Structure 1
Amino acid sequence: MPATGDAAVHPLVSDPAWLRLKVAVSELRLLQQKDGSLRDDVDEAGHERARTLVAEVVAGIRGLAPSLPHDAAYLEALVLDFGRWVDGGFGVPDFLDSLNAFAPAQHRVDGLTHLVVFPMYTQNGNPDRMVEAVLLEVIWPDFVAELEAGDYSNRLFLPIRFLDFTAGYDTNSAVLFPETVAMREVPAFTWGGIFADREAARFRRVVAEAADVTRLSLPADAARLVADQQLAERTFVMWDLIHDRTHMHGDLPFDPFMVKQRMPFFLYALEELRCDLTAFRESVKLEAEGHPYARMVQYAVLFDRIFRFSITGSRVRNYDGLGGQLLFAWLHQRGVLHWTDNRLSVDWEAVTEPVLELGRAIEDLYWRSIDRPKASHWLAAYALVSSVVTPHPSSAWARHAAGDLTALPLDGPPKGLTDAVLPDEFPLSMFFEALAKKMKPVIESTAGITGRSDLVAREEGAAA
């Protein structure tokens, strides 16, 4: 295998079986509708074409199977699921059997390749359950295996890297989750994939631009992180490992945040930020023990949260954006982050303790939650966030916090409280409004990015 960042193409990407499969999937997607079935306006000729395309997909799967012996049972089940879909007249697809047979977390070997072909939606990408095809490889360096075998166990965690993909992943999606697949029932999931190469590549592009725009002077090791794709990938794998397991650990509210439920979006902001700040805290500990990537995780959490999360995506219930705003404002108000003379600066020697302090504030909120009614917990969470980030002037929640006890429907079900949260309850500050305008082109340019595509773009830019 070529080293990460090498411009060489993986042999499977140029395999004729993959190329034919990818073309067939790309055309098949055009015949599908939101639930994965064929569109209502597809006539008999279209159905016949769909049968031909599925036959080409199946031929591609069988052609690639000898290169993927570790996935033999899954690939055979995949062929059967495609066959049932055709025999059923291309109704709503059901790929539960092949999904159950796919167990990539059982083979976490660095560089191991997988072919993924499912009718699925892609988070932050395509919302419809169309057939997608992805070639990927596992990222599992020895240091990650050692961390996972020790204090950071997570048998479901699967860090991965794009090799090639169809249109649903030519987007901002950086995850491969089994719950996105079309299936008749929801099983117990055994894995969850995160494309660390995409996370690393867009981090590097965005932070490099943001540091230039804000005139932030990066420490030498942080500059190396931004410049080195392999270093950034490994950093994100370590960050993701600790973040992912944190959702299941700690003094959590009784209703786990990972259970689908409708709540004010600022609660999701606090949960995601809690997990990131836990990764930061653990990395501080691991740095003291001499871990080579621990300092890099701390930089990644700070820069990605502040520069990318805060200004990426819609302002409608953007919980990751709010988490980034909260971290920035917290550090600014504690005097370790400065915006002076139109230049951003950070007191690098003093920044660690305030970050840890914010983590402790969220953990204390969680610890107290089991002694509080749900509405009281939500109000306490709002008090924490609004003490740092200014809410919208017309916010009913803000009026309640200021003493107007009639502003919120506290005598009804929790739904009324959630409905009272504005779509953009915590608007961008003037700093982030200005930064967002300057950063919009580079953030939009990261859609579909991978480590290799970023390298190619840089090479083309240098040649020009």
Structure 2
Amino acid sequence: MTEILVQDRKGGEGADAQRVIDHPAWPVLKDAVERIRAWQSKDGSIDFAAEGAPDQATVETALDRAISAIGQLSPLLPHDADYHRALVADLCRWAEGGFAEPDFLDSLLAFHPAQHRADGLQHLVVFPMYTQNGNPDRNLEAVVLRVVWPEWLAELERTRYDNPLFLGITFEDFTGGYDTNSAVLFPETIAVREAPERFTWGAIFCDREAARFRRVTEAAVDILKLDLPEDIREMVGDQERCQQAFVLWDMVHDRTHSHGDLPFDPFMIKQRQPFWMYGLEELRCDLTAFKEAVKLEAEGFSQARDVQYAVIFDRMFRFPVSGDRVRNYDGLGGQLLFAYLHQHDVVRWTDNTLHIDWDRAPQVTNELCGEIEKLYREGIDRPKLVHWFAAYELVATYLSPHPGSTWAKGPDALDVSLPPRKLVDDVLPDEFPLSMFYEALKKKLKGVIASTKGITAHSDQQVAA
């Protein structure tokens, strides 16, 4: 196998450095990775006995091209030198092992992007991994990205929202696993022999989030005949402004998972819980970001006002009608926010037109956040099953359960002698179905949402009629 030494570091750093994707080695690397991806099984291995499989020499040739391209690109990225050395070693070891299930733990442990949070800094990332909300298989992927870390955000992280593992990022280019709905790069998705003791970074593509938000919001506003104030209309029309809002939203949201009165593991890792528990946790983090944005706006942060609109619109317009209805916890959170605002007369749907009381929206949205925080605080003193029912009652106060729901009938309808995790089997896949309003909206937004697959800041923002 080809080996490289990562040397001759003549590349710069930051926004003024040569773009990796403009180097002639990038299309070579991308093509080689795409070829290898097509030969891989679900676990990332290559089965040479499978029908239509290439011979090992063919795969090794493609891998040699990939390794050579990495060697040419690496000098542009001196901050990634150790990672690229470990990456090449992992690729070579994968080949030497006959392309069995890949193990890239060594290169994962050498990759420390959160140690270099500089606005505009590029990274070349190559890993066998699945992409959340994208490709479920651990295929080899190559991604070129840039860090989004403006000074105002860095100052907020240093002084108020400590989150040393968080990275805002944007796409430069990517292979097939990211030509999807995935907007995150997380270390836990990467194929390794064992999970590291701790993860040291987590990154979110704010450009994809912003572009998707803009396209869906523009369509929803048109469909619902919503009269937007001029400053909101300007925000929705501005990709860079939306990216700044999303990177702030994401940073506070991510941090909130480990802050507050938490009656359980905040990420619910290796736990089996009813999906409304995940929905409430994600909504709590979003509404905390909203609440903090209200404070920051009062202090003069223009990005914070945009965060409030982004949370409300993305949660109300896109989340409930995206994806399928099987344990769709993000959809449930969006349904709950809309219903809460509607039942508190902040949102009105009359004469086939949506009206929003912009003056009252921050106050009432914060009240919903307060109800969830109260649920959490009281949950510390409850047994797990009692807490699940209390959470169910909170959601059911504003959303109608499915008429066939066992949980809606209360504890007497369940075999409470079973462990709580067994009672999750009695939860319906769609425990809280869409309202008639959302059923109609979903039909009209279906094509627009489908069109956001693979979207980036560079995508055409015009929605087909």
In the TM superposition, 1:280-291 aligns within 5 A as: 280-291=290-301
Closer/same/farther in 2, CA of residues 412 and 218 from structure 1, 3 Å limit: same
In the TM superposition, 1:246-325 aligns within 5 A as: 246-325=256-335
**How big is the shift at 1:351?**
1.2
In the TM superposition, 1:1-400 aligns within 5 A as: 11-39=19-47, 40-41=49-50, 45-187=54-196, 188-400=198-410
Closer/same/farther in 2, CA of residues 45 and 319 from structure 1, 3 Å limit: closer
Give distance in 2, aligned partners of 1:44 and 1:232. Answer: 45
Give distance in 2, aligned partners of 1:45 and 1:357. Answer: 60
Q: Does the alignment pair 1:437 with 2:447?
A: no
Secondary structure, aligned partner of 2:448: helix
**How big is the shift at 1:46?**
2.2
TM-score by length of 1: 0.94
Secondary structure, aligned partner of 2:460: helix
- What percentage of aligned pairs have identical amino acids? 60
Q: Does the alignment pair 1:416 with 2:422?
A: yes
Give distance in 2, aligned partners of 1:26 and 1:15. Answer: 18
In 1, are the aligned partners of 2:287 and 2:366 still within 8 Å (CA)? yes
Give distance in 2, aligned partners of 1:406 and 1:360. Answer: 30
Give distance in 1, aligned partners of 2:201 and 2:51. Answer: 36
In 2, are the aligned partners of 1:31 and 1:42 still within 8 Å (CA)? no
Secondary structure, aligned partner of 1:293: helix
Give distance in 2, aligned partners of 1:14 and 1:131. Answer: 21
Q: What's the Cα RMSD here?
A: 1.8
Deviations 1:379-415 (A, max 9, x none): 0000000010111000001111xxxx43112111112
Q: Does the alignment pair 1:427 with 2:427?
A: no
Code of the aligned partner of 2:74: A
Secondary structure, aligned partner of 2:141: strand
Aligned residues, how many?
A: 450
**How big is the shift at 1:43?**
7.8
Secondary structure, aligned partner of 2:207: helix
* 30-39 or 410-419, larger mean C-alpha shift: 410-419
Deviations 1:86-142 (A, max 9, x none): 000000000000000000010000000000100000001100000000000001111
In 1, are the aligned partners of 2:180 and 2:453 still within 8 Å (CA)? yes
Give distance in 2, aligned partners of 1:10 and 1:386. Answer: 54
Q: Does the alignment pair 1:454 with 2:460?
A: yes
**How big is the shift at 1:10?**
7.4
TM-score by length of 2: 0.94
**How big is the shift at 1:430?**
0.2
**Unaligned segments of structure 2, at least 5 residues:** 1-11
In 2, are the aligned partners of 1:10 and 1:163 still within 8 Å (CA)? no
Deviations 1:46-85 (A, max 9, x none): 2111101111110111010110000000001000000000
Code of the aligned partner of 1:435: L
Secondary structure, aligned partner of 2:432: coil
**How big is the shift at 1:253?**
1.0
**Unaligned segments of structure 1, at least 5 residues:** none
In 1, are the aligned partners of 2:341 and 2:365 still within 8 Å (CA)? yes
Deviations 1:221-251 (A, max 9, x none): 1111110000000000000010000000000
In 2, are the aligned partners of 1:85 and 1:91 still within 8 Å (CA)? yes
* 287-296 or 333-342, larger mean C-alpha shift: 287-296
